[in-house]
Amino acid sequence: MYADDSADSQIIERLHRRDPEGLAAAYDRYGRTAYALFVRIIHDQTAAEDLVQELFLRLWNRSREFDSNKGALGVWLLSIARNMAIDYVRSAQSRFSSRLRSMDHVDALCFSRNPTGRESRIHDVRVIQEAFGTLSADEKRVMELAYFEGFSQSEIAENIHEPLGTVKSRMRSALARLRSVITGNKGQ
């Protein structure tokens, strides 16, 4: 990562003396890398920014725990960042479960394409509800996660603890069935 151990030693020395310039130097040296790591793991830039701040606050408060005999400052700092990101993702999974809404509870008017035609909206809602009624529980869950929660197929696989191929297969079959039912009802 960074070959200049003397710069890390100076940073640690400043942090031990509670010199704010040490924290600034650490941030300048490792802030971008930590941010990139957070974004790569959690896929949320705003949360990554918050986690970077928390990471450097931890560094300020726990710098005495660093032992240069055990490794480089950058490796130590980024391993803390990695653990923070994993903890964030795990806690996000519990938040995710509480946010999940069934298709049955979604406001029917959110499917409207033509807000002035009440009959058209009612028909569209009925068609969509009918189409969703043809899906298996697993297919419904994958579709709800993708379209209402905004998760990628990889994130869905991780959250429901299924192989990515299974998620992709369910998504394909659900979309095919929805397409078939919805296009079959267009003429009615």
More confident position, 169 or 127: 169
**Length of the chain measured in residues:** 188
Same domain, 107 and 71: no
pLDDT for 109 beyond 50? no
Which pLDDT band, with edges at 50, 70 and 90, does 2 fall under? very low
The count of domains in the chain is 2
pLDDT band at 96 (very low <50, low <70, confident <90, very high): low
Q: Is residue 86 located within the same domain as residue 141?
A: no
CA gap 8, 25 in Å, rounded: 9
93 and 13, same structural domain?
yes
Residues 11 and 93 in one domain: yes
Residue located via tokens 């806690």: 91
Residue that terminates a domain, selected from 99, 120, 153:
99
Terminal CA-CA length for the chain? 64
Q: What is the pLDDT of residues 123-166, one digit of tens each?
A: 667 777 888 889 999 998 898 888 766 778 898 999 899 999 99
Q: Where do the H-state alpha helices sit in the chain? A: 5-16, 20-42, 45-62, 73-99, 118-133, 137-147, 153-160, 164-185
Q: Are residues 33 and 56 in the same domain?
A: yes
* Cβ proximity of 164 and 153 under 8 Å: yes
Select from 144, 103, 128 the least CA-distant residue to 178.
Answer: 128
Residues 171 and 93 in one domain: no
pLDDT, tens digit, for every residue of 111-123? 444 455 556 667 6
Query: Are 55 and 141 found together in one domain?
Result: no
| Predicted pLDDT of residue 119 | 60
Tell me: pLDDT of 85 over 80. Answer: yes
- What is the predicted pLDDT for the residue at 69? 81
106 secondary structure, DSSP code: S
Q: Is the separation of the CB atoms in 36 and 62 below 8 Å? A: no
Are 14 and 75 part of one and the same domain? yes
Residues 78, 110 within the same domain: no
Asked if 157 and 143 touch (Cβ cutoff 8 Å), the reply is no
Distances (CA, A) of 54 to 42, 49, 64, 131, 144: 15, 9, 17, 46, 33
Domain ends where: 99, 130, 147? 99
Domain holding 32: CATH number? 1.10.1740.10
Domain finish residue from 64, 83, 99: 99
Structural domain boundaries enclosing 53:
5-99
pTM above 0.85, yes or no: no
pLDDT in tens, 56-71: 999 999 888 888 888 8
CATH of the domain at 176: 1.10.10.10
Q: Residue 112: its pLDDT value, please? A: 45
